[in-house]
C-alpha cells in the first residue's frame, strides 16, 4: 500500500473549513516555527482541535505536555483549559522553547502556560519529588525512545481517572514490525508492551490518516 494519498489532506482541509475555520494565530505559530527552522512535526489542525476538545470534555484544570516543539499543540490544549487552568509543557531544546514561548504568548495563552526546559526525564523526576497538584490530562509527543518511561511518569503524576494521550503510535503501520527500519518504532512498541502489562490504565489506539499521513493517537485512562 502507498504511504500517502492526496485525498487524506483534502479531507483534512474540508474538516478544517467546516468545523474549525481559519485561525490566524495558529497560522502565525506555524510560520514562526518554519522561520526558526523547527521541524514541521506538529500535530495537524484537526488533531490540535481534538486536543482542545478533550481538555474541555474532561474538564482538565492541570495539563502536562511532554514535547513542546514550537507550542502549536500547547496553544490548542491551553484553549481547552478552564478559567484558572494550567499547562506545564516540557521541552529539551532551549531554542524551540524560546520560539514556543513567543508563539504561546502571541496566541494569548501565555498566562496559562509554563515551559520547563531540559531533558524530560529529569524534569519529570523533579515534578514527582515536588508532589504538586496531580494532572488531569497528559499529552506525550516527544522522543519515542522514552515513551514507556513517560507512561510511568504520566501515571505517577496524574489523578485517578486522568486521560493520557500519546502521539505517533502507528507510524505508517511500522509499529507492528519488530524489524522496522524506522528508529522511532522500538520505543513505540515498548509503550504497547508496557501498557499490555500495566493494570493501572485502560487504553486504546486509533489509527489516523490526514495531513500527517498514516499514524495514530493512543488514549489511556488511569484507573
Ligand atoms: C516525528 C515526531 C512526531 O512527534 C511526529 O508527530 C511526527 C514525526 C519524528 O520524530 O519523526
Ligand atoms: Mg507527534
Distance between Cα 29 and ligand 2 center (Å): 16
pTM (predicted TM-score): 0.98
Flag whether 1 is in a domain. no
Distance between Cα 182 and ligand 1 center (Å): 11
Ligand 1, atom 3, lies closest to the CA of: 41
Q: What is the pLDDT of residues 26-56, one digit of tens each?
A: 999 999 999 999 999 999 999 999 999 999 9
Contact 65, 88 (CB under 8 A): yes
Please tell me the total count of domains within the chain: 1
Structural domain range at position 190: 6-222
Distance between Cα 104 and ligand 1 center (Å): 20
Flag whether 132 is in a domain. yes
- Of 170, 176, 130, the C-alpha closest to 153 is 130
**Is pLDDT of 2 > 80?**
no
Flag whether 97 is in a domain. yes
Flag whether 171 is in a domain. yes
Contact 171, 215 (CB under 8 A): yes
Which residues are near ligand 1 (CB < 6 Å)? 41, 141, 167-168, 184
Supply the CATH number for residue 82's domain: 3.40.50.150
Q: What is the pLDDT of residue 115?
A: 98
Flag whether 25 is in a domain. yes
Amino acid at each position: 500500500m502507498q504511504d500517502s494519498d492526496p485525498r487524506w489532506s483534502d479531507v483534512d482541509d474540508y474538516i478544517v473549513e467546516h468545523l474549525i475555520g481559519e485561525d490566524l494565530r495558529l497560522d502565525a505559530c506555524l510560520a514562526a516555527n518554519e522561520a526558526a527552522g523547527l521541524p514541521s512535526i506538529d500535530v495537524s489542525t484537526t488533531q490540535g482541535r481534538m486536543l482542545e476538545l478533550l481538555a474541555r470534555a474532561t474538564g482538565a484544570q492541570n495539563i502536562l505536555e511532554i514535547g513542546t516543539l514550537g507550542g502549536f499543540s500547547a496553544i490548542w490544549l491551553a484553549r481547552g483549559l478552564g478559567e484558572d487552568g494550567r499547562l506545564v509543557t516540557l521541552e529539551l531544546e532551549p531554542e524551540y522553547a524560546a520560539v514556543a514561548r513567543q508563539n504561546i504568548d502571541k496566541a494569548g495563552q501565555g498566562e496559562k502556560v509554563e515551559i520547563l526546559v531540559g531533558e524530560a526525564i529529569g524534569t519529570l523526576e523533579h515534578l514527582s519529588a515536588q508532589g504538586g497538584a496531580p494532572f488531569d490530562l497528559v499529552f506525550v509527543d516527544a522522543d519515542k525512545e522514552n515513551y514507556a518511561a513517560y507512561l510511568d511518569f504520566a501515571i505517577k503524576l496524574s489523578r485517578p481517572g486522568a486521560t493520557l494521550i500519546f502521539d505517533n503510535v502507528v507510524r505508517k503501520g511500522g509499529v507492528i514490525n519488530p524489524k522496522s527500519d524506522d528508529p522511532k518504532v522500538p520505543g513505540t512498541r515498548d509503550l504497547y508492551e508496557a501498557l499490555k502489562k500495566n493494570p493501572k490504565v485502560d487504553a486504546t489506539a486509533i489509527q489516523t490518516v490526514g495531513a500527517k499521513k498514516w499514524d495514530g493517537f493512543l488514549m489511556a485512562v488511569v484507573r
